[in-house]
Structure 1
Amino acid sequence: MPKAGPYYLYMLDFKRDEEQKRGRNLSLAEVSQLASASWNAMSEDDKVYYKEKAKGGAVKVARPRSSCNSSTKSSQLYTTQGVLVSLYDEEKRKEKEDQENMRKRIGNMVQQLPLLSDFLDYPIYLMYGNYFYKNNEGIHCPAEIGLVKFTFRDGILKRHHEFIQPEKTELGYAYTAKAHSEDTHRLPPPSLHTKAFGEKNFQRVFYNINKFMRADGVPVFDGGNPIIFTYNDPHASEGNQIEVLKDFLNQFAEPNAPNIDVYPLTRLFYVLRKELATRGKFDDIPNEGFTNVFLSRDPYETTGGISCEYHEEKDATRHCALSRVHRLSFLLADHFCKPLGVRLVAGQHLPPNADLSNSLLSLRSESTASTTNSIKRESEGESEKPSPEAEPKLARSVAGPHIRASASTLNFDAQSVQTASSSNAPRAKRPSRGSLVHAQTLEAQSQITSSTFYNRT
């Protein structure tokens, strides 16, 4: 198993003990409630075994007997799947509570911050993770993370990218890890490392994430846990990103470490769009499913210069975790900056090689200029509103020539929504890869933090 903290190792033992008693597999969600209470009830002497095991090397103390409560057996009711009814009810209650809390927090975040002042500078953290395989217990073996700090006013402010090196591949998963790697991120699985690279200490990975998010001293708007947003593309092969990142953070963190909440970007997008609709800056949209239509288009997936060095060389940029979070940032800026009155800047809001002169979203507001000459006049104190005839033409070119073949990302038209949301309809064909343009580096515009890069020697 990859190196993990004492509690995580205990939870795995606890899970195996319970499965032997019940004669069936249990999910981590089912076990976490019981394991947490059992761990807290253990004495410090009993915990020594797991603390020594987490350090690696020989363990000189015996494993304590399971602290499972033997009274929770046949005297309690079970569902038809063999799950304790009390545990099932508690799990469903917790899921519902988490969903309600997520919706309430995102709604308050958008409504409490004035949209045209504080909200423009409030940091949004976007994260994406790649893994080698997912085992039968639902645990993802981590491979890579990408994290950016984004504001609507300044775009991408800083980035963090880190490769992760698990200790080994679990028995029986070598082929799965190799196949998944070849189909996606192309990072060498642990068992195939010839020149290993990546952070081995999982707790250090969590420390780096926490440090990245807390370095600027920006308080969370409601005083709660820090929030990371991610997007789960239903068409992607990298797995459900909400589950992946929650599992990663669970593996990385020590017991009693500060929690980080992982929320869906679709919800933030939807609430922000609805709020702007009430202010007359957007047409309203009926439900959150419409936001997935926009985010799944991913018109920047073949853009060069926004992924890490390794994936640029391996020609696997679209699967790079750093590229993923860059592209999510570009989509947010592409869609919301104009209604928020923010002018796009290449290399911060959009790729460094984006052609802003023909983009409707490059305008500061509805009343600003619509062409390069108009932008010049704006700097001289003049302004001109785009004509109704010119506006649709400008909308067809959102972020430059490298995505001209893609549909406009400005609006949710009825036809595209119907096509994209239909379960039987084929997904729109993405643009061909072609040769990637190695654009200028973003180092001049944003601070880079990357504690680990691969061994090039």
Structure 2
Amino acid sequence: MAPKKHSGFMMFVTEWRNRNAEGRRMTIPQAVAHCGGIWEKMTTQQRGPYNSGAKNADVLDRAKRERLNCHGQGIAQVDQAQQETAEGVMHMKRTTERIIREAKKAHDLENAKFVFAAFNFFTKALTSDVYVPAEFAACEYSLKEGIRSIYSTMIDPGQIIFGQSSDAQHHSATTHSLPLPPNALGERNMAKLHRNIVDYLKKCQGDKPLIVFTPVDDIPMVKSCFRYLACEDEDDTEIGRQKIEVFDILYLMFILKKEVMDVADLHDENVTQYVTDSFFNREFFEFTPQIACQYHEENDRSKYCTQSMVTRWAYTFSDLMCGDLAITVQPGKHIPPKTNPNYRVIHSDASSLAQESSFDSFYSLPGSRVKKENQSQDSTNFSISSSRASIASSSYVPTDHTAFTADLNEAEAFPSLGRRNPSGRRPPANNAPTQRERNGAWDLPTNSRPIKKFTDSDFSITGAVKKNKK
């Protein structure tokens, strides 16, 4: 609908009502009827200021109106949201790089601590970015010690968004399989749960800003779940006001891998974020038993358990980088429990050089492992399975497996299809005709048996009967 334009006459009516006490006591229709006669008696010059004021008001209203895009959203708001998102991504990358750089500068990269966090939710609001949390888990991790501690809890929000019970039931049945409110399991006091989570993060990170890492696709959901818990926490203490930042775990893996390879003197320009993202998304430990909570282990939903998620992320980090720093992995902390590592860390003394050592990834194919006999040679080849490429034995002697050699320029070595040479016989020089060609016959193979002559009686019924009787 087009906006209503201002009128010079209405500008005059408004001014007359403001100046006269009699006009202020009138209603707008009464004032319009009274000013109509006055407006008709006014000259063009007298009407000019009011008409100009109406045009100016139209221009101001047009400037105030916000332009909309094809989705009905304000262009200025969309641009502002995009700018804030870009600034948030830049802040996340710079902070992650600063954390890794400070740990590397202190020569303590293997002991740098990171917190991985994951949420499960019941449902999401249709018109807003609000998620109702159902489960939470976080783990403290470092390359040297692996998984240092795990915090896991289920959440009972008491109720879900009105009108979305069917969506919540479908989402639960296809993912985490947690019962819906009011039969939900876990903590019901959201304020208490928020304070417990903040306390755990402060114990892991000390006085530093509270930062958790999660996959980039889950960042909006994790932020919304933290806001959901914080809204219920009305405590005005420092813990209640503590802000939790959520960063990308994939970018952390990429930057940490680059710095680890630099520390280990394994420079490789082929290590890109696309490579590390592919390694993370492979989910090598997806079906590992005994790493989920008891509920999901009993219901065969370990894949969707938040405790299993953060544990698998820690195992993936260890599988990618512990071999580069020669860190001895421990079952249950770096790799799944009751699992033997596929490589041994050997000290660089004279006696150990003669031993065999494999630095293959935990889930590398056995047939692809190559024994390393000389550790003094540096390897710069990076494999997606985080293994170091080794050099094979130097006693290898190449063998010539040539089955046929010939000169392509010699026509005698490649006879034509209809002029194939007989066995043990060389073709005549200068393309001279053979004896059979001179007699008018080609050098074709003869029949192995003579041709029998048939008569008409051989193809008749009586003849066939007589032949059978014989």
**What is the TM-score of this pair, normalised by structure 2?**
0.59
Q: Match of 1:308, as an amino acid?
A: C
What's the CA shift string for 1:177-217, capped at 9, x where partnerless? 111111111101115x2xx4211222222211110011256
Q: Match of 2:385, as an amino acid?
A: T
Match of 2:109 among 119, 125, 150: 119
Is 1:249 aligned with 2:226? Answer: yes
What's the CA shift string for 1:299-340, capped at 9, x where partnerless? 111111111111111111111100110000011111111222
| Aligned residue number for residue 169 of structure 1 | 160
Q: Match of 2:151, as an amino acid?
A: H
| Aligned residue number for residue 236 of structure 1 | none
Distance in 2 of aligned mates of 1:99 and 1:215: 26
Distance in 2 of aligned mates of 1:115 and 1:80: 50
Alpha-carbon distance change, 217 to 80 in structure 1, aligned in 2, over 3 angstroms:
closer
| Aligned residue number for residue 107 of structure 1 | 97
Match of 1:348 among 320, 323, 333: 333
Identify the structure with bigger relative contact order (alpha carbons < 8 Å, sequence gap 6+). Answer: 1
> Where does 1:242-281 land on structure 2 (aligned, <5 Å)?
242-254=219-231, 257-279=241-263, 280-281=265-266
Is 1:153 aligned with 2:144? Answer: yes
Distance in 1 of aligned mates of 2:388 and 2:169: 39
> Secondary structure of 2:352's match?
coil
> Where does 1:22-61 land on structure 2 (aligned, <5 Å)?
none
> Where does 1:232-243 land on structure 2 (aligned, <5 Å)?
232=216, 240-243=217-220
Q: Match of 1:268, as an amino acid?
A: L
| Aligned residue number for residue 360 of structure 2 | 395
Is 1:329 aligned with 2:320? Answer: no
> Where does 1:88-103 land on structure 2 (aligned, <5 Å)?
88-103=78-93
What's the CA shift string for 1:211-260, capped at 9, x where partnerless? 0011256342xxxx32101125xxxxxxx311111111111114872211
Q: Match of 1:122, as an amino acid?
A: A
Alpha-carbon distance change, 84 to 212 in structure 1, aligned in 2, over 3 angstroms:
same
Match of 2:352 among 377, 383, 386: 383
Once superposed, what is the RMSD of the aligned Cα atoms? 3.2
Alpha-carbon distance change, 216 to 150 in structure 1, aligned in 2, over 3 angstroms:
closer
Is 1:211 aligned with 2:211? Answer: no
What's the CA shift string for 1:103-149, capped at 9, x where partnerless? 11111111121278422222100011111122202321211011001
Is 1:229 aligned with 2:219? Answer: no
Distance in 2 of aligned mates of 1:282 and 1:332: 19
Distance in 2 of aligned mates of 1:175 and 1:92: 33
Is 1:201 aligned with 2:189? Answer: yes
Mapped contact 2:291–2:307 kept (Cα < 8 A): yes
Alpha-carbon distance change, 132 to 247 in structure 1, aligned in 2, over 3 angstroms:
same
Alpha-carbon distance change, 160 to 385 in structure 1, aligned in 2, over 3 angstroms:
farther
Distance in 2 of aligned mates of 1:345 and 1:157: 12
Is 1:285 aligned with 2:270? Answer: yes
Alpha-carbon distance change, 215 to 244 in structure 1, aligned in 2, over 3 angstroms:
same
> Secondary structure of 2:138's match?
strand
Q: Match of 2:70, as an amino acid?
A: T
Mapped contact 2:113–2:205 kept (Cα < 8 A): no
Distance in 1 of aligned mates of 2:270 and 2:177: 38
Alpha-carbon distance change, 72 to 312 in structure 1, aligned in 2, over 3 angstroms:
farther
Q: Match of 2:193, as an amino acid?
A: V
Mapped contact 1:124–1:149 kept (Cα < 8 A): yes
Mapped contact 1:115–1:340 kept (Cα < 8 A): no
> Secondary structure of 2:247's match?
strand
Stretch deviating more after TM superposition (113-122 or 288-297): 113-122
> Where does 1:404-419 land on structure 2 (aligned, <5 Å)?
409-410=385-386
Q: Match of 2:277, as an amino acid?
A: N
What's the CA shift string for 1:37-71, capped at 9, x where partnerless? xxxxxxxxxxxxxxxxxxxxxxxxxxxxxxxxxx9
Mapped contact 2:321–2:386 kept (Cα < 8 A): no
Is 1:135 aligned with 2:125? Answer: yes
Mapped contact 2:179–2:185 kept (Cα < 8 A): no
Q: Note the C-alpha offset of 1:78.
A: 3.1
Q: Which runs of 5+ in 1 are unaligned?
A: 1-70, 233-239, 370-377, 414-457
Q: Note the C-alpha offset of 1:399.
A: 8.5
What's the CA shift string for 1:250-297, capped at 9, x where partnerless? 111148722111111110111112223444335333532222210111
Q: Note the C-alpha offset of 1:159.
A: 0.8
Alpha-carbon distance change, 230 to 73 in structure 1, aligned in 2, over 3 angstroms:
farther
Q: Note the C-alpha offset of 1:164.
A: 0.6
Distance in 2 of aligned mates of 1:347 and 1:211: 25
| Aligned residue number for residue 41 of structure 1 | none
> Where does 1:174-189 land on structure 2 (aligned, <5 Å)?
174-189=165-180
Q: Match of 1:218, as an amino acid?
A: G
| Aligned residue number for residue 87 of structure 1 | 77
Mapped contact 1:290–1:412 kept (Cα < 8 A): no
| Aligned residue number for residue 415 of structure 2 | none
Distance in 2 of aligned mates of 1:282 and 1:219: 34
Alpha-carbon distance change, 368 to 283 in structure 1, aligned in 2, over 3 angstroms:
farther
Percentage identity across aligned positions?
23
Q: Note the C-alpha offset of 1:172.
A: 2.4
> Secondary structure of 1:197's match?
coil
Aligned residue-pair number: 305
Q: Which runs of 5+ in 2 are unaligned?
A: 1-60, 235-239, 370-382, 390-470
